[in-house]
Amino acid sequence: MIGFIQLLAGLLNFGEITKFISRSVVVGYSTGIGVVLIASQLHNIIGFSEDPRDRFITDVWRAVRSLANVRVEFPSILIGILTFVVFLIVKKLKPSWPEALIGLTTLALGAFAYAHMPGLFGHSATLPFRLVHDEGALTAVIPAFAGFHYGTQNAKLITELAGTAIAIAILGMLEAASITKGLAARSGQKIEPNQELIGMGVANIGCALFGAVPGSSSFARSAVNYQSGAATQLASMLSSLVVILILLFVTPIFNYIPVAALAAHLIRVGFKMINTHQIKIACRSTRSDLIVFLVTFISCLLFKLDTAIYIGIGVSLALFLQQTSTPTLVEYMIDDSGALTELNDPAKRPDNQISIIHVEGELFFGAADLFQEQVRCLAENENIRVFILRMKNARHLDASTVMAIETLHDFLRKTGRHLIISGSNPDVTQVLRRSGLLKQIGEENLFPAQQNPTAATRLALKRAKELLPNQTSEIRIFYDRPQEADMA
């Protein structure tokens, strides 16, 4: 079910929604994963064994407590230090060689010789540190084809598993998108999110047929793959082939990898996942980026990783909607020379009956309430008999904003006043027409945008004066100051 959901999402181009994941979320998530990975291996590098808690605070606390009580295994600490030294030597002498594979293999062979040649080293066969096979021996078992065991008697399983399957599928999509964005930023490669989803979906369908667990991208595996010099998809295929060969022929040797050595390798990977350069950018760019980074990072430390990514994305979208849905109106007026000037002193505001409200920016659902509230406050002035909404630079009008404009129109009609719309672009005009709002306002009160940027406003002013016969009217103009500055 998970595989089919992801495959369908890829075929329907749902992968494009991953573009809305902020890079600050990705940086915070990858940094949190790195810190959690480091903390999770502290007990192995120190040399004490406890049940895994999968919590950052718990991992750090038990490591500190063990150090304070001197409840450590010094051979494990020495193995960990030796592992780091081997990595550094290989990296310095032969940067292109896989230092992790060389280091772990060397230590495994050393532990094997230490355990099986006690006479050579002059000690007992009992090792003073834990090995991989102490945690559970690696054995080579060829997976058997499990088939697709489903019948009409199991139809109820679809509804029972649907919610969980959708959640896991979405988590896999978000995880893959986060990892892909993080690595693509470093490698410079082009992101193909739909291709990623299709591949993941097909892989999970294949896993299900062999009784395997659902799979997704992995920060640890992907980071190791990239840091080892992988440049194409062939690297993953070759690594899979190497894993098969190791499982079949070399598994006994890898059972002798010291747990402390493996922990040192994972700690090294965790440090490499913490990109200090990107952290500085995320923290210094804007206040919103800083908040998103910190919330995502702290969520990784306090909650489960799937919960952390949801929290990070939610906070990122909430801050984005808040930024794009805060209209600000500044009052303007026409001076004696006919020029547009800002009204700095409210006491000098001329008596007027026509008000032009310049609408600038996104008019989606997030801005609808604030838009309606501010315009409604202006409409409370009963001296203004005609309101002109100048919507030349308004974008993405939706149902929420249409309803807000409809409420304003009804309010003005009840008080014997009028609403005119000018400068609307084709998209806005189409929404007004299809929603039925234009029929309520009247075709005669709509003046679409023309090639001359002020032509529609002049026609709207002419219409306003027709609605106010035998009256001389000054004009008040409300303009969005921040947007005007951006345009300048």
Mean pLDDT of 324-338: 57
Check whether residue 294 and residue 357 sit in a common domain: no
Choose the final residue of a domain: 281, 296, 321. 321
Residues 6+ apart with CB under 8 A from 163: none
Check whether residue 286 and residue 402 sit in a common domain: no
**pLDDT at position 399 over 50:** yes
Positive or negative CA dihedral for 226, 228, 234, 239? negative
Helices (H), 246-275: 251-254, 259-272
Q: How far is it, in rounded angstroms, from Cα 452 to Cα 390?
A: 14
Give the pLDDT band of residue 335 (cuts 50, 70, 90): low
Check whether residue 257 and residue 177 sit in a common domain: yes
Predicted confidence at residue 49, as pLDDT, reads 62
> Higher model confidence: residue 477 or residue 307?
307
> Higher model confidence: residue 366 or residue 90?
90
Check whether residue 201 and residue 258 sit in a common domain: yes
Mean pLDDT of 414-436: 88
Choose the final residue of a domain: 274, 293, 321. 321
Check whether residue 9 and residue 121 sit in a common domain: yes
> Higher model confidence: residue 381 or residue 238?
238
Read off the pLDDT of residues 193-242 as tens digits, 9 standing for 90 and up. Answer: 888 889 999 999 998 888 888 888 776 677 777 777 787 888 888 888 88
∠ Cα 21 26 27 (to 5°): 140
Check whether residue 290 and residue 234 sit in a common domain: yes
Check whether residue 218 and residue 345 sit in a common domain: no
Predicted confidence at residue 51, as pLDDT, reads 58
State the residue range of the domain holding 219. Answer: 2-321
Check whether residue 156 and residue 79 sit in a common domain: yes
Predicted confidence at residue 234, as pLDDT, reads 87
Choose the final residue of a domain: 299, 321, 343. 321
Read off the pLDDT of residues 144-181 as tens digits, 9 standing for 90 and up. Answer: 787 776 666 677 788 888 877 887 787 788 778 777 77
Check whether residue 288 and residue 357 sit in a common domain: no
Identify whether the C-beta of residue 46 lies closer than 8 Å to the C-beta of residue 73: yes
Identify which of 394, 397, 419 has the alpha carbon closest to the alpha carbon of residue 409. Answer: 419
Give the pLDDT band of residue 407 (cuts 50, 70, 90): confident
Check whether residue 11 and residue 65 sit in a common domain: yes
- Residue owning tokens 């801050």: 319
Predicted confidence at residue 5, as pLDDT, reads 92
Read off the pLDDT of residues 277-329 as tens digits, 9 standing for 90 and up. Answer: 888 988 888 888 899 999 999 998 888 777 887 888 888 888 877 766 665 55
Predicted confidence at residue 456, as pLDDT, reads 81
> Higher model confidence: residue 433 or residue 394?
433
**pLDDT at position 485 over 60:** no
Predicted confidence at residue 96, as pLDDT, reads 72
Identify which of 52, 34, 73 has the alpha carbon closest to the alpha carbon of residue 136. Answer: 52
Output DSSP code: residue 257. Answer: S
Check whether residue 221 and residue 108 sit in a common domain: yes
pLDDT above 70 coverage of the chain, percent: 77
> Higher model confidence: residue 85 or residue 158?
85
Predicted confidence at residue 487, as pLDDT, reads 38
> Higher model confidence: residue 182 or residue 485?
182
Strand 474-479 vs strand 352-362: parallel, antiparallel, or unpaired? parallel
What DSSP element (H or E) covers 150? none
Identify whether the C-beta of residue 313 lies closer than 8 Å to the C-beta of residue 25: yes
Predicted confidence at residue 8, as pLDDT, reads 93
Identify which of 383, 422, 375, 382 has the alpha carbon closest to the alpha carbon of residue 401. Answer: 375
Question: Two tokens at 279?
Answer: 């952290």
Give the pLDDT band of residue 373 (cuts 50, 70, 90): confident
Domain with residue 452: its CATH number is 3.30.750.24
- Report how many domains make up the chain: 2
Identify which of 69, 87, 67, 71 has the alpha carbon closest to the alpha carbon of residue 79. Answer: 87
Predicted confidence at residue 367, as pLDDT, reads 62
**Range name among 119-128, 184-193, 350-359, 439-448 with the lowest pLDDT average:** 119-128
Predicted confidence at residue 482, as pLDDT, reads 45
Identify which of 448, 347, 437, 445 has the alpha carbon closest to the alpha carbon of residue 391. Answer: 448
Read off the pLDDT of residues 343-361 as tens digits, 9 standing for 90 and up. Answer: 666 555 554 677 777 777 6
Read off the pLDDT of residues 18-28 as tens digits, 9 standing for 90 and up. Answer: 667 777 887 88
Strand order in the sheet with 446-448: 340-342, 330-334, 474-479, 352-362, 386-395, 418-424, 446-448
Check whether residue 334 and residue 317 sit in a common domain: no
What DSSP element (H or E) covers 117? none
Give the pLDDT band of residue 68 (cuts 50, 70, 90): low
Give the pLDDT band of residue 484 (cuts 50, 70, 90): very low
Predicted confidence at residue 294, as pLDDT, reads 94
Identify whether the C-beta of residue 272 lies closer than 8 Å to the C-beta of residue 38: no
> Higher model confidence: residue 267 or residue 172?
267
> The pTM is what?
0.65
Report the 10 Å Cβ neighbour count for 474. Answer: 13
Average pLDDT, the chain: 77
Give the pLDDT band of residue 271 (cuts 50, 70, 90): confident
Residues 6+ apart with CB under 8 A from 85: none
- Residue owning tokens 């490698």: 187
